[in-house]
Amino acid sequence: MKKIWKKGLLSLMSASLVLSLIPPYTGFAEEEGTSQKDTDKVEEKRTEVKDERTETEIVYDNHDGSFTKQIFSEPIHVEVDGEMERVNPELEKDSVTEKITPKQTQLDIEFLEKMENGIYQKLTQTGAEVTFALKSAKQGEEEIPVTNQDATFQDNEVTYKDVLPHTDLRHFTFNQSVKEDLVLSEKNDIDTYIYQMETKLNVSQVENGDLVFKNNEGETIYTLPKPVMADSNVDEESGEAATSDAAHFELKRLTKTVYEVQLKVDTAWINDRARVLPIYIDPSVRVDDIYNANVNSLRPTENNIGSKLWDSGQNAYTLKLGKWDSTTGNNGAFLKMDTSTLNKATISKATLKVYNIWHMSPTVKNDLWYYEVNANWSPWQVTWDNQPASTRLGSVDVGRGEWANLDVTNTVQAWASGTRPNYGFRIGTNIDQNYWKKIVASENNTNYPYLEVTYTYTQPEKPTVTTYSNGIGTGTGYMDLSWKAVPGATSYNVVISNGYNYEYFNTGSTATTWSTKGKKIFPTATEIQNGDFEFHDDGKGTEFALDPRELYENGYQAGSTFGLRNSTKYLFRIQAVYNGGESPVSDLVTTYMPIEKPQPPNAKAYANLAHKETGYVELNWQPSPMADGYKVLVFNGKSYEQYDVGAATKWTTQNKGIWPTSSEISAGKFALHQDGAGAELPKDPSPVYRNSGGVYGEYQNYWFRIIAYQKAGNNAASVQSETARPVIPDAVNKQLGMVDYWTSIPVRGGEVNATNGNFLFHETDFELAGRGPSIQVDRTFNSQDEATGIFGKGWTSTLEEKLVEEPNGNIVWVESDKKIHRFVKKGDKYEAPPGIYSEVTKTADGYLKVEEDKSETRFLPDGRLSSEKDTKGNQLSYTYTNGQLTGLRDASGRTITLSYDGDVVTKLVGPLGRTITYSYNANKELTASSTARGKLYRYGYTDGLLTAIYDPKHTDTSPYETTFKYDGEKLVEVKDPVGKTTTLSYDKDNQTATLTNEKKEKKRFMHIMMLEIRKKKL
């Protein structure tokens, strides 16, 4: 439970510059006698539960079912961006304001880098701002002006040197206060120091000489206590410095918001021969939120807190114990830590820890007594005379510079059980001089008292979780939880991991069921996109995603070590809530949302080359939440056969060989192939359907469905999607590529087929000449090619030249730009088409194509390139891995290698590390390619058509691009980087195409459809 703390006062003026007077902030010290080995064991055994931090508490999980809580009376944490972080009063310079500020404290304060007209310090809490200025000093009637000095700072100390002759202005920062000193390095006769304060708060002087700052509601915001003075004459046994309270404030209001404060001091005390320099004039600070106080028999009606606890001899706030002599009287200390968060807990150990900063002897150890206080008390009112009665609990021996560990287990158990109220502790010792001690007070930055409690609550049993989908296409679902009741619990926290930490949702009742349904806890899609991972407690979120991986990725990117990245499970625990405390969380339950039924796949059917009477189907589908794998179901006329496609959300039958071969169909078979040894999909699948004996023997469409699954098996596979029913279309020869008898129209970046408007764009990525066939990688883009090659959709290359055997035995040679040549089977030979002088033969290893000069190209049985050989026997070889081309080696042993992402090339590496890279979008469209020198060319697409080519020097502010427009599949406009536009138009009836350049000059190109004019070999 977080507590709200008021800001206590800052000190205004005081004394003495002593190096290393207060150590830098490091938290509380280690106990004496704890070896490094023992410390390591403790660290291995328990870990902090950071989510349980409050301003005054640290909780450790002991990993044995118990927890240890350290409770402080002073806040040790501050809230930073919603998280509790350790207090850090060390000073730093703000790079924006150029002011000097504490790194992390509750107190809003800044120091000027250089004093301005005496101004050195500002309190900056909104609505409670105060500006402090030291204006001058008086020595009798002589007024001495202050010199504006630069600030120097280190750790939590900032000093303005020589603001007055031989006088420094020094401050120490703490979490809720600042202690200020005027430090006199020489004695003087200055009797008055004049300050100005500017504030909208109401400032007044109370009876005891303090100055109080109140808001309009009468609430005290800051207190400037009556000043005291001390010198450096510290007694070696008592640890006491010589002090004097012969100093006071005189307050005068100058304007509505400006006050003058005169600090009057006794110069006789300052100039006494007994004084030891430096001398400190010290009003210090009273922090009203600290729950500790000293009582003193010498001043039985005086309350001692805040600034009165400053001990110049120890340079620390201390609580004095026992009696040194008649000047100190007998002293006791009161402490109180809030234990309300331990209500109903079972306490196994409770230790009050106090640090004994001073003992009359550096070697002697003796009693420190501790008591349970029996009645209520206030740190601002308790005195020797009105102190409440207390019950002695025990004593421990402790020496100088040691921690005292006080066993208070029974007392804290009584407080936690509610059998006795928590009134805190009293600390004391024997009044014999040999027992004189000082313990560190809570006001300090280090070694402050704390209560360490090891405790347990009844751990709830883990809940049962049932998950549901909200329906097809929603991507969301909900979870119902139930658990066994825990006696004494007033409500429960449902604990859910967001991938970064656990978040707690209180049920608000003793009911033992809870559901996420309708609570709108999960971050919205916009929040997820913005990197958020925190759940909603305001009902403004959305339903839980079936797939939480994006949520967990955000947590991971924010620094989470939860280990949920790429996980699809949800984590739940239950925690019982008591009055003022919570139980340990239950054991962990992991659960998985169901995989919802996929949407029907989108199916597009294509015909293969003319005369083949075959085709293929490309499927794509929407990802299913929680799924990381899919199966494509293909109907054989009687049942569906499954093809596991992994995590892909698209699939094609092309080159998969799933359909029964013609001989298998003739034999009455209908089972599909899983081994890739079958045929392409026929235009008419009905013969297979009839073979199956099913009722679909007259149908000519195909049936496809999708099943979604999770590889880990945490979720059951989905039910089948609805069907897609594509039909293979009639074959259409699109006249891809370019042959010499087609009319070609040259345009910037490529050429256009005048017959059909197909735009061809050519690129050369790699060329390596040498002995034998060269290694050359050329790419061609056909705007009317819907197929996807190894360089993306619409692109083909010199690496993809192939031979295709048609069902009738003819062989088609597909060149690198997609133009085709058909070799007609004549007996056991193949007749080349007119104008082609190559000879093709079928071999045991595939195919052989021999050119007129007797150079050879060999193809694998599936028609892909195998090798090229010149007439001298120099050979270029192609290497495949798992069906993909991965390397080429020329006759000199030089190689290039290809790397892939899926089925597209991402990198090509040649000799000497020359590297070319390729990038693609989600549609497998090539979006960028680099040169070996690192220049990057980029490509843009619209609806699968190449619509922009970006030069390497192109930027958004300085465009350098060539753009293309189409009418359907025909190119109709080209605009170059300087804005010159060329247009094309087509006249089908007159079989012409017209090119109009930027000067409006027209050029007409004629073509004759379907007429093939080839040169015959004489």
> What is the tens place of the pLDDT at every residue in 923-964?
999 999 999 888 999 999 999 999 999 999 988 888 899 999
pLDDT confidence band for 688 (50 / 70 / 90)? very high
In sequence order, the β-bridge partners of residue 144 are 137
Residue 845: count other Cβ atoms within 10 Å of its Cβ.
Answer: 11
CB 863 within 8 A of CB 876: no
User: 35 is written with which tokens?
Assistant: 């070896």
For 227, half-sphere exposure in the C-beta direction (CA atoms, 13 angstrom radius) is 27
Give CA–CA dist 796/783, Å, rounded.
11
Give CA–CA dist 857/840, Å, rounded.
10
pLDDT higher than threshold 80 for residue 487 = no
Residue 122: count other Cβ atoms within 10 Å of its Cβ.
Answer: 18
Any idea how long the chain is? Answer: 1018
Instruction: Tell me the CA distances in angstroms from 178 to 199, 227, 442, one per residue in order.
Output: 18, 14, 14
Residues 6+ apart with CB under 8 A from 574: 460, 461, 462, 463, 481, 483, 492, 493, 494, 495, 585, 586
Give CA–CA dist 77/83, Å, rounded.
9
Q: Which backbone phi and psi does 182 adopt, to 5 degrees?
A: -95, 125
pLDDT higher than threshold 80 for residue 190 = yes
Give CA–CA dist 978/961, Å, rounded.
8
pLDDT at 49: 87
Pick the more confident residue, 348 or 579.
348
User: 775 is written with which tokens?
Assistant: 């290694």
CA-based nearest residue to 126, from 23, 221, 22: 221
CA-based nearest residue to 977, from 956, 996, 954, 1000: 954
Give CA–CA dist 720/574, Å, rounded.
36
Q: What is the CA radius of gyration of the chain?
A: 44
pLDDT confidence band for 2 (50 / 70 / 90)? very low
CB 454 within 8 A of CB 68: yes
Task: Indicate the helix (H) or strand (E) that contains 840.
Answer: strand 839-843
pLDDT at 61: 86
Give CA–CA dist 783/779, Å, rounded.
13
Pick the more confident residue, 194 or 176.
194
User: 783 is written with which tokens?
Assistant: 């705007």
Pick the more confident residue, 213 or 741.
213
CA-based nearest residue to 131, from 287, 218, 264, 257: 257
Burial of 375 (0-12, 13-18, 19+ CB in 10 A): exposed
Strands of the 775-782 sheet, one edge to the other: 744-747, 750-753, 759-768, 775-782, 795-797
CB 990 within 8 A of CB 810: no
Give CA–CA dist 440/309, Å, rounded.
10
Residues 6+ apart with CB under 8 A from 606: 615, 616, 617, 618, 654, 728, 729, 786, 787
CB 843 within 8 A of CB 853: no
pLDDT confidence band for 307 (50 / 70 / 90)? confident
pLDDT at 612: 62
Pick the more confident residue, 552 or 50.
552
Give CA–CA dist 580/343, Å, rounded.
5
CA-based nearest residue to 449, from 438, 435, 463, 434: 438
Largest CA-CA distance found in the chain, in angstroms, rounded: 135
pLDDT higher than threshold 90 for residue 687 = yes
Give CA–CA dist 571/57, Å, rounded.
27
CA-based nearest residue to 909, from 1017, 777, 770: 777
Cα angle for residues 63, 66, 71 (degrees, 5° grid) = 115
pLDDT confidence band for 809 (50 / 70 / 90)? confident
pLDDT at 732: 53
CB 211 within 8 A of CB 261: yes
pLDDT at 12: 32
Pick the more confident residue, 282 or 363.
363
Q: Fill in the amino acid letter for 667.
A: A
User: 955 is written with which tokens?
Assistant: 């930027």
For 512, half-sphere exposure in the C-beta direction (CA atoms, 13 angstrom radius) is 13
Task: Indicate the helix (H) or strand (E) that contains 794.
Answer: none
CB 493 within 8 A of CB 582: yes
Write the Ramachandran bin of 842: left for phi over 0, alpha for psi from -120 to 50, otherwise beta.
beta
Q: SS3 for 238?
A: coil
Give CA–CA dist 1018/1015, Å, rounded.
9
Q: Fill in the amino acid letter for 207.
A: E
User: 843 is written with which tokens?
Assistant: 């071999």
Residue 302: count other Cβ atoms within 10 Å of its Cβ.
Answer: 14
Q: Which backbone phi and psi does 531 adopt, to 5 degrees?
A: 90, 10
Q: Which backbone phi and psi does 342 adopt, to 5 degrees?
A: -100, 5
Q: What is the mean pLDDT of the chain?
A: 89
Q: Which backbone phi and psi does 36 adopt, to 5 degrees?
A: -60, -40
CB 156 within 8 A of CB 174: yes
648: Cα separation from own chain's centroid: 28
pLDDT at 577: 87
Task: Indicate the helix (H) or strand (E) that contains 686.
Answer: helix 686-692
Scanning 430-557, the segments in alpha helix (DSSP H) are 525-529, 549-557
Instruction: Specify the DSSP class assigned to residue 688.
Output: H
pLDDT higher than threshold 90 for residue 288 = no
pLDDT in tens, 990-1007: 889 999 999 999 999 987
Pick the more confident residue, 535 or 176.
535
| Mean pLDDT score, 971-988 | 93
pLDDT higher than threshold 70 for residue 797 = yes
Percent of the chain with pLDDT over 70: 93
For the chain, how many helices (H) and strands (E)?
7, 79
Q: Which residue has the tokens 């469209």?
A: 925
pLDDT at 561: 85
Write the Ramachandran bin of 626: left for phi over 0, alpha for psi from -120 to 50, otherwise beta.
left
pLDDT confidence band for 1008 (50 / 70 / 90)? low
Q: Which residue has the tokens 């979604």?
A: 708
pLDDT higher than threshold 80 for residue 413 = yes
| Mean pLDDT score, 672-698 | 95
Give CA–CA dist 947/925, Å, rounded.
12
pLDDT higher than threshold 80 for residue 3 = no
Instruction: Tell me the CA distances in angstroms from 351 to 56, 70, 406, 769, one per residue in order.
Output: 16, 9, 5, 84
pLDDT in tens, 417-437: 889 999 999 999 999 999 999
pTM over 0.85: no
Give CA–CA dist 258/264, Å, rounded.
19
| Mean pLDDT score, 785-798 | 94
My answer on whether omega of the bond before 278 falls inside 30° of 0, hence cis, is yes
Least confident of 22-31, 103-112, 543-552: 22-31
pLDDT higher than threshold 80 for residue 598 = yes
pLDDT in tens, 841-882: 999 999 999 999 999 999 999 999 999 999 999 999 999 999
Task: Indicate the helix (H) or strand (E) that contains 267.
Answer: helix 267-270
Residues 6+ apart with CB under 8 A from 805: 811, 812, 842, 863
pLDDT confidence band for 107 (50 / 70 / 90)? confident
Q: SS3 for 306?
A: helix
Long-range Cβ contact pairs of 375-382 (< 8 A, separation 24 or more): 375/423, 376/421, 376/423, 377/334, 377/423, 377/424, 379/290, 379/291, 379/292, 379/293, 379/303, 379/305, 379/334, 379/336, 380/288, 380/293, 380/303, 380/305, 381/303, 382/293, 382/295, 382/303, 382/334
Write the Ramachandran bin of 568: left for phi over 0, alpha for psi from -120 to 50, otherwise beta.
alpha
pLDDT higher than threshold 80 for residue 35 = no
Q: Which residue has the tokens 């247009």?
A: 983
CB 242 within 8 A of CB 311: no
Percent of the chain with pLDDT over 90: 70
